[in-house]
Amino acid sequence: MSKTTRRTFLKTTAVVGTGYFVAAGTRQALSKSPNERPNVVSIGVGGKGASDSSNAAQFGHHIAICDVDRKRLKGKGEAKGFKDAEQFTDFRELIAKYGKKIDIATISTPDHMHAPITLELMRLGINCYSQKPLTRTIYEARLMAKVAAETGVCTQMGNQGTALDSSREAIAQLRSGVLGTLKEVYVWSNRPVWAQGPGRRMTMKKFVAQARKENPDDADRLIDSKKKQIARDLENVDWEHWLGVAPKREYWPGLYHAFQWRGWWDFGSGALGDMACHQVTVPFASCGLRNPVSVVAKTTGHDYDSFPASSIIEFQFPETPERPAIPCWWYDRKGNKPPQEVFSKWGINRVSNSGVLIVGEKGAFYSTDDYCGRYELKGVDKVKVDYEKAVKKGSNDVNNMYELFRAVAAGDPMICQSNFIHRAGPLTETILLGNLAVWAAAKGGPNGAMGDWGEKIQWDAKNLKVTNLASLKTPHVADLIKPTYPKGYRLD
């Protein structure tokens, strides 16, 4: 079945209401023939990519998979549903060979490669499921939404909480005005659960110097052992393609790949980027948390290389027709929470490790999980609301993936709750602005304590510009807005 014929088939079956994806109602009713299932590729099949690719395999036929880690790639290739998929370590080679045959792609890489990969796929008319946060920088998020709109492809960001009926109900409750006039929003997270903090980069030159100073009698053996470990690792990891659009740096075992990349400015977006796309979804969608006008932070300190161990960020949002101007506060690191008096007013004495509190003049919304799936209203009762329930095929993770396949089947990008245009792109823009403030709050307090407030970032959301950039003493703030890609990768 050609790509044109396959897409016509998908749209036709959805329109007539007896298609494989919508009307069948159960996973077992999906066609089992590879020629009657959309062609899927998965780029990044380890970590979150392991479940993303497996979820996609329930509804589509994998023709190719890609990962820079050959060991992970081989393992996924031996799994059921992937044995016929060709394997690549460079996503560009995969696209060059299969581009015209791909219907849906999943992208589950470190943050810095989300945009380079997804943009190339969308520009070829390929529907994309990309992990959160949508991008590493603000401009990339704006561009991803723009390209999605221009190409008409179906898109979904991998924040599975959007497929929870309870979080959808929460949005509807808050939109109803049950809390009265909104006053403030608080979000706190127990992340990071990976290493962050200054002075963490390691190189062979630094290792050799330390070994000779700290273990002079055993230095040669330690150095030789480390060189052999690195050589073994690089037999599996394609380090050049792992770096992708990021500045060049040495590979070091366990420091970046496979999980610690989240704590580095060049690759990740810290605790804020990791968890805020989950936690802020409900307040973003219900309280109109778009287009902040300023942001300021305090941190435990960083070196412009690794994120700080902990931070507090204050976002200021302008007045809208629905609500007055309000602040939103973000806290990260386990135990770093809003002041207890914020909670005591509502009878909350044992505060969860992660959560959301939205305060209005009549009452408050309190959630104790990462997706606002568990929540209660304080001081007010729930009201009757209507909301679109998720089409269930399994866990909320599976349902979030299935929503993209439904959208492709119907030819309707707006079926996806977390599409790039209306939700994922603007949400990511808002969240990542907080990291500009973290960048501008590099000085921490003594002995790992929280430092003073850093420089405030005044923000023009429409034009993606720091309006007080000329007066800031912090260097390279603008680099976090729009990146520069090296040769071989396309941004604009």
Asked whether residue 491 is assigned to any structural domain, the reply reads: no
Report the SS3 class of residue 69: strand
State how beta strands 457-460 and 311-317 pair: unpaired
**Cβ proximity of 96 and 120 under 8 Å:** no
- Is pLDDT at 2 greater than 70 in this prediction? no
Whether residues 319 and 248 share a domain: the answer is: no
Average pLDDT (267-275) is: 97
- Is pLDDT at 267 greater than 70 in this prediction? yes
Whether residues 368 and 444 share a domain: the answer is: yes
Asked whether residue 486 is assigned to any structural domain, the reply reads: no
Alpha-carbon torsion 31, 33, 38, 44, what sign?
A: positive
Average pLDDT (339-366) is: 98
pTM of the model: 0.93
Of the pLDDT bands very low, low, confident and very high (cuts 50, 70, 90), residue 241 is very high
Whether residues 67 and 211 share a domain: the answer is: no
Average pLDDT (215-224) is: 98
Could you read off the pLDDT of 53-77 as tens digits, one per residue?
999 999 999 999 999 999 999 999 9
**Residue 448 carries which DSSP code?**
G
Whether residues 406 and 307 share a domain: the answer is: no
Q: State the chain's mean pLDDT as an integer.
A: 94
Asked whether residue 490 is assigned to any structural domain, the reply reads: no
- Is pLDDT at 15 greater than 50 in this prediction? no
Which of 4-18, 232-246, 338-352 is predicted with the least confidence, judged by mean pLDDT? 4-18
Rounded CA gap, 239 and 260, in Å? 15
**Cβ proximity of 128 and 121 under 8 Å:** yes
Asked whether residue 344 is assigned to any structural domain, the reply reads: yes
State the CATH number of the domain containing residue 426. Answer: 3.30.360.10
Average pLDDT (174-187) is: 98
The alpha-helical segments, DSSP class H, found in 411-490 are 425-439
37: number of CA atoms within 13 Å, CB side?
18
- Is pLDDT at 3 greater than 80 in this prediction? no
Whether residues 458 and 338 share a domain: the answer is: yes
Rounded CA gap, 80 and 70, in Å? 18
Which of 23-27, 108-112, 375-379, 444-448 is predicted with the least confidence, judged by mean pLDDT? 23-27
Could you read off the pLDDT of 155-167 as tens digits, one per residue?
999 999 999 999 9
CA distances from 430 to 52, 137, 267, 294, 463 (A): 25, 11, 19, 11, 13
Whether residues 169 and 238 share a domain: the answer is: no
pLDDT value for 36 = 80
- Is pLDDT at 399 greater than 70 in this prediction? yes
240-245 long-range contacts (CB < 8 A, ≥24 apart) are 241/68, 241/89, 241/90, 241/91, 242/68, 242/110, 244/112, 244/113, 244/116, 244/489, 245/112, 245/113, 245/116, 245/483, 245/485, 245/486, 245/489
pLDDT value for 35 = 61
pLDDT value for 14 = 42
Report the SS3 class of residue 223: helix
Whether residues 46 and 82 share a domain: the answer is: yes
**Cβ proximity of 61 and 37 under 8 Å:** yes
Amino acid letter at 406? Answer: R
Amino acid letter at 29? Answer: A
State the CATH number of the domain containing residue 403. Answer: 3.40.50.720
pLDDT value for 21 = 38
pLDDT value for 20 = 37
At residue 288's C-alpha, the angle toward residues 286 and 293, to 5°, is 150
Whether residues 327 and 462 share a domain: the answer is: yes
Based on the structure, what is the number of domains in the chain?
3
Q: DSSP for 118-169, please give it.
A: HHHHHHTT-EEEEESSS-SSHHHHHHHHHHHHHH---EEEE-GGGG-HHHHH
pLDDT value for 24 = 31
Whether residues 325 and 362 share a domain: the answer is: yes
Rounded CA gap, 1 and 485, in Å? 36
Whether residues 139 and 24 share a domain: the answer is: yes
Average pLDDT (79-103) is: 97
What are 31's two structure tokens?
């066609």
Report the SS3 class of residue 347: coil
Amino acid letter at 229? Answer: Q
The alpha-helical segments, DSSP class H, found in 280-411 are 281-287, 340-344, 396-410
- Is pLDDT at 1 greater than 80 in this prediction? no
List the one residue out of 87, 101, 5 whose CA is nearest residue 42: 87
List the one residue out of 36, 78, 75 whose CA is nearest residue 59: 36
Whether residues 400 and 324 share a domain: the answer is: no
Whether residues 58 and 89 share a domain: the answer is: yes
- The residue length of the chain stands at 492
Average pLDDT (299-320) is: 98
- Is pLDDT at 398 greater than 50 in this prediction? yes
Of the pLDDT bands very low, low, confident and very high (cuts 50, 70, 90), residue 34 is low
Report the SS3 class of residue 319: coil
- Is pLDDT at 23 greater than 70 in this prediction? no
Q: Domain of residue 436: give its range.
A: 165-196+265-388+422-480
Of the pLDDT bands very low, low, confident and very high (cuts 50, 70, 90), residue 4 is very low
**Cβ proximity of 419 and 281 under 8 Å:** no
Amino acid letter at 439? Answer: W
The rounded percent of the chain whose pLDDT value lies above 70 is 93
- Is pLDDT at 116 greater than 90 in this prediction? yes
- Is pLDDT at 240 greater than 50 in this prediction? yes
The rounded percent of the chain whose pLDDT value lies above 90 is 93
Could you read off the pLDDT of 222-233 as tens digits, one per residue?
999 999 999 999
